Structure 1
């Protein structure tokens, strides 16, 4: 019986297939494109290798692209048709069941089944990595923390991938609000494996959530060679750099990142990249900076991606691009299509619930924002603001929804609501210049010019503070 790198038995696989499978898991944990080649080579060596087929299916499903998901279903179907699951070891049988749930669009059941696997097999790196991404795509902060935390004691410092598991745990800690612990664990993860881009990403998120933008810029600058090239995650970490630049008041730097990376010559055109581009430009739009040419090009890129309902979080960013570029009719068509999608009988499809609960209200609100209908934006976003996590993404990504609600509250004259929203932000992140500038706008609207002037001075001071003193 074969054994994988982490000591788990494989019921049926040739030694060469196991070697490529282990390589694939290594590349998966580092978000490198080589995972695809290694997964293919594992199946070339052993076409009946169950976990090889499961891994290939996960790779197609977790891109959040409908075409990739369809191709994954088509590849998996003939293998599944010939498979007698009763002959599989329990762990592999459970993986087949989990990935079938995901193939059917049921993220929730897949995540639960993967959780059961890691209860019994906490060193199953594939179950941990796939489950962690499921938790991310469903916005489940508790599961992001506890899925990894519950397995962590079975891993050891001398494991090659201990740092990667710590990196996942650090991100879960951050999303669950444990910022000091997240920073500690994330820094340790990157110390163990400097190329752990997910661990770097976890630390970057922690600094973002604390408003420590200068610390984040230094951290990314110091590790530029470790995270900026060679992985699926380059663009997203550059997006975080762009957020720091905006917080620092350096719009030119943020747009340079947009033009050279987010929508640069090496872009792949994936939804995961384009949503970062839309999210950066929308933050500028909220501050009255209409990047018309960039929006037009981005809307063109979104057009072939937005036809089919698959992941509501992507829909929001497509609507941003259509609405901000003046193609409101296309945004409205997408919304109408998703309304029809909700009427379809698709039992267990997680995205339907995401679309109904959060996706459609947010999409409608963004169209109304562009139209200047700020009362309607408030009416749509205020009821969902505390459960917007249900359609996935991170706190940093979903902050674009909260900022839109705040801006519409200000523009519609809801000064008291705006005061509450700013107060919430300011007391969570008192070192954020953006929060102090919004505090200035609100206090001025309430007639307190002295407080507004003091808030602007505070924002300016934070942007020019001496590096190393941003705590």
Structure 2
């Protein structure tokens, strides 16, 4: 159920979310851009989200909120920042300049300030401003979506859940984009381990719109984290034609689909899905989040003893173009994994130096995360690749509960949990062998009936599997 009836200036004002522009067409294209962004799809009748943005800006070159959504979507791609992209810095400065020259609302001024903070890497401060907007205007979907995305980057899971829960009572079911609200809430519930509630909310969203890719995503997380892998496979395969139309999240949903195969030990099926969908789509889009997810996917298979070096090269080639970005800690660690995975020790060393310089001179939430745990994570992976397994454990295990600060979801960060277990298993320190046993037991308690955990147990006791 994709929208086609876009709201003009009058409609936005009637809904209590007035927009400052003299162009009704700009307002309508703003709605089209927002709808595609929230719904994770490209409207082919409009030429996709990028063309919709161009149409919006062409209709009113000085449309402040238009530049806000344009810049925010650019930032949500996690592939650039103002420090390394001077052209993007100019677009942010242009947004700030036109905002000063126009008589815009206080809400719109706050939107400008929040995106400017986001561009500076200050996501926590940006979220505080979006929450201020939502207190007065709880149906401002742009503020809600931007906050949702930044909470995800910060791994602020409770905030991601509660941000949506607070505004839900103010949304009439007849309001455009209402169904997507439920999918967003479902994801927040899932990330805070409220799996039954998350499943119910995701299914409600899918009853409203079976093409809701984010609700599908939330439900796939539920099945992954609760060990219902067969159910997850059935769900993803039976609804594939519904969610794959959401091109902006289809690759990621295929990634979740593939995780079920890895969990089950079906590596041939996992590779087939990787070749046909996950890897292929991520290389086509060059989305940094999908590229690092591909690296993660291959590393999970690598931990199982399956060679993946040759498959890593294409993704490494994309990663090496972003080694000085430092947009998200989760991404940076995966860039290091890509360098190490193809034995590019020189790039790994240079990247480590870049991280240290970023920590010394940078600012913002990602800088703090890399200083707290990100650099250590990279050092631990380096030690592991150098067969120094005991060092890898000693470096990262004491900071295990800080890894969440790198960003991403619980399912995405599970690759780091697996890394620590495998490092402990390979360590020649008897204490680490005991630690591996305890970590595997812990994993067993969190997710019962896990074939992957059973394989780890077998490895621990040196039996075949």
TM-score (norm 2): 0.91
In the alignment, what sits opposite 1:465? Answer: none
Q: Could you tell me how far apart the structure 1 residues matched to 2:234 and 2:159 are?
A: 30
Paired residue for 2:151, among 130, 135, 157? 135
Alignment of 1:29-428 (within 5 A): 29-33=38-42, 34-66=48-80, 70=85, 71-84=87-100, 87-264=103-280, 267-344=284-361, 346-347=362-363, 349-412=364-427, 413=430, 414-428=432-446
Q: Which has the higher mean CA deviation after the structures are superposed, 1-10 or 212-221?
A: 1-10
CA contact (8 A) 2:79 2:325 kept: no
Please report how far the alpha carbon of residue 86 of structure 1 lies from its aligned counterpart in structure 2 after TM superposition: 7.8
Q: Could you tell me how far apart the structure 2 residues matched to 1:339 and 1:104 are?
A: 18
* RMSD over equivalenced CA pairs, Å: 2.0
Q: Could you tell me how far apart the structure 1 residues matched to 2:127 and 2:141 are?
A: 14
Q: Could you tell me how far apart the structure 1 residues matched to 2:131 and 2:150 are?
A: 11
- SS in structure 2 at match of 1:48: coil
Q: Could you tell me how far apart the structure 1 residues matched to 2:248 and 2:142 are?
A: 17
Cα separation, partners in 2 of 1:300 and 1:84, compared to 1, 3 Å: closer
Please report how far the alpha carbon of residue 255 of structure 1 lies from its aligned counterpart in structure 2 after TM superposition: 0.9
Q: Could you tell me how far apart the structure 1 residues matched to 2:414 and 2:22 are?
A: 45
Q: Could you tell me how far apart the structure 2 residues matched to 1:325 and 1:62 are?
A: 28
Paired residue for 1:19, among 14, 21, 28? 28
CA contact (8 A) 1:65 1:310 kept: yes
CA contact (8 A) 1:167 1:186 kept: yes
CA contact (8 A) 2:421 2:439 kept: yes
Q: Could you tell me how far apart the structure 2 residues matched to 1:179 and 1:82 are?
A: 45
Q: Could you tell me how far apart the structure 1 residues matched to 2:167 and 2:423 are?
A: 43
Q: Could you tell me how far apart the structure 2 residues matched to 1:397 and 1:120 are?
A: 34
Q: Could you tell me how far apart the structure 1 residues matched to 2:198 and 2:192 are?
A: 9
Q: Could you tell me how far apart the structure 1 residues matched to 2:205 and 2:32 are?
A: 20
> Cα deviations across residues 55-114 of structure 1 (Å, max 9, x unaligned)?
011011111112698344322322422432783211111101111111222111111111
> Cα deviations across residues 256-296 of structure 1 (Å, max 9, x unaligned)?
12212222276222211211110011111212212121123
- SS in structure 2 at match of 1:88: coil
Q: Could you tell me how far apart the structure 2 residues matched to 1:339 and 1:65 are?
A: 19
- Unmatched 5+ stretches in structure 2: 1-8, 43-47
Cα separation, partners in 2 of 1:293 and 1:340, compared to 1, 3 Å: same
CA contact (8 A) 1:262 1:274 kept: no
Please report how far the alpha carbon of residue 39 of structure 1 lies from its aligned counterpart in structure 2 after TM superposition: 2.5
In the alignment, what sits opposite 2:448? Answer: 430
CA contact (8 A) 1:170 1:199 kept: yes
Q: How many residues align?
A: 445
Please report how far the alpha carbon of residue 230 of structure 1 lies from its aligned counterpart in structure 2 after TM superposition: 4.4
- SS in structure 2 at match of 1:151: helix
Please report how far the alpha carbon of residue 319 of structure 1 lies from its aligned counterpart in structure 2 after TM superposition: 1.0
- SS in structure 2 at match of 1:11: coil
Q: Could you tell me how far apart the structure 1 residues matched to 2:325 and 2:16 are?
A: 41
CA contact (8 A) 1:57 1:73 kept: no
Q: Could you tell me how far apart the structure 2 residues matched to 1:205 and 1:384 are?
A: 25
- Unmatched 5+ stretches in structure 1: 446-451, 457-471
Please report how far the alpha carbon of residue 32 of structure 1 lies from its aligned counterpart in structure 2 after TM superposition: 2.2
Please report how far the alpha carbon of residue 3 of structure 1 lies from its aligned counterpart in structure 2 after TM superposition: 4.1
> Cα deviations across residues 110-129 of structure 1 (Å, max 9, x unaligned)?
11111111121110010111
> Cα deviations across residues 36-65 of structure 1 (Å, max 9, x unaligned)?
222221221122221111101101111111
CA contact (8 A) 1:61 1:72 kept: no
Please report how far the alpha carbon of residue 6 of structure 1 lies from its aligned counterpart in structure 2 after TM superposition: 4.6
Q: Which has the higher mean CA deviation after the structures are superposed, 362-371 or 72-81?
A: 72-81
In the alignment, what sits opposite 1:441? Answer: 459
